[in-house]
Amino acid sequence: MRRRGPTVPMHAMTILRFLSSALLCAACMAGSAHGGEAECIVPSKPGGAMDLTCKLARKALPEGPGDPRLRLSYMPGGIGAVAWHALVSQRRAEPDTLVAFSGGSLLNLAQGKFGKATADDVRWVAALGADYGMIAVRADAPWRSLGELVEAIRRDPQAVLIGVSGTIGSQDWMKMALLARLAGIDPKQLRFVALEGGGEGFTAMAGGHVQAISGDASEASLYAGPGKVRVLAVLSEKRLPGVLAKVPTAREQGYDLVWPVIRGVWMGPDVPDADYRRWVAAFERMQAAPGFARLREQAGLTPFSLTGEALTRYIKQAVTDYNRQARQFKLVRQH
């Protein structure tokens, strides 16, 4: 008879299996934190400027042996509110999850549209660049300048449907409201169609569902072209480089309206300091790399680079400034 080896008790086998699984899981987690797969959440539908932010990060971040690959996922809803609450309530400590944000996110915070959320609820990682607002119509529209569009709205505000990302109080709404006020038109007379993300706005305009769009220059750079979209004005201090170089500013056309839009990424509030610093350092290296300026311009962004604590200070001041501006239109929600 063959002698059997020592018998391992069943409870010991269970412990061994548990330890093996735990070690395997730990190895997976270590791989994720150092050279595995990271996630950049786009808090809107594909095709808008939030999408561009994550795509720029994926394209420009270093790709060394220890650097994680960045994949994109989409979490639209509430103009960023769904992604915000998902991370803050359920995914607070994920070390390799980034979320795109814009000036619109900060405006929502300033107005209380994320509930009781404040800028202190998350960790601000990096600003990748600055965008600017723009006003566009279809290429076959009768209006060839911002002044012509404004006059059409003045004659019959109900005849011009304006597509905006978000509802009353969103940054796209604010741009048109400020423009109307400069032209002596009551913003309450304007007709808006609320959409989810800039890409949806251009789709709605192509289908004839809206006649004009209040959006961002980075989005327009994707869609502008012969026979497609006519950008009437960019809301910047001076003309922008790249595809929109021939588009006049609103100021050039007699409307003193400038609307900058910061674009960047944040992380959950309980992300360990070491992981937060690791990502801040990665974005600092990215922005110092020789080819980053070209990639940023291709994404329709202009230079604006802040990271870590400096970015956090900027964000808090921006939310305060947006809050003051929103109060002029009585848009701030009281808690």
pLDDT tens for the chain, residues 1 to 335 = 433 443 334 343 333 333 333 333 333 333 344 457 999 999 998 888 899 999 999 999 987 666 778 999 999 987 789 999 999 999 999 999 999 999 989 998 999 889 899 999 999 999 999 999 999 999 999 999 999 999 999 999 999 999 998 788 889 999 999 999 999 999 999 999 998 777 788 989 999 999 999 999 988 988 876 678 999 999 999 999 888 999 999 999 999 999 999 999 999 999 999 999 999 999 999 999 999 999 999 888 999 999 999 999 999 999 999 998 888 888 875 54
Whether the CB-CB separation of 267 and 98 falls below 8 Å is answered with: yes
- For the entire predicted model, the pTM comes to 0.76
List the structure tokens of 208.
Answer: 């004839």
CA gap 304, 310 in Å, rounded:
12
Domains of the chain: 36-130+261-328 (3.40.190.150), 132-258 (3.40.190.10)
Query: CB under 8 Å, gap of 24 or more: what pairs does 115-120 form?
Result: 115/81, 115/85, 116/335, 117/84, 117/85, 117/88, 118/319, 119/312, 119/315, 119/316, 119/319, 120/316
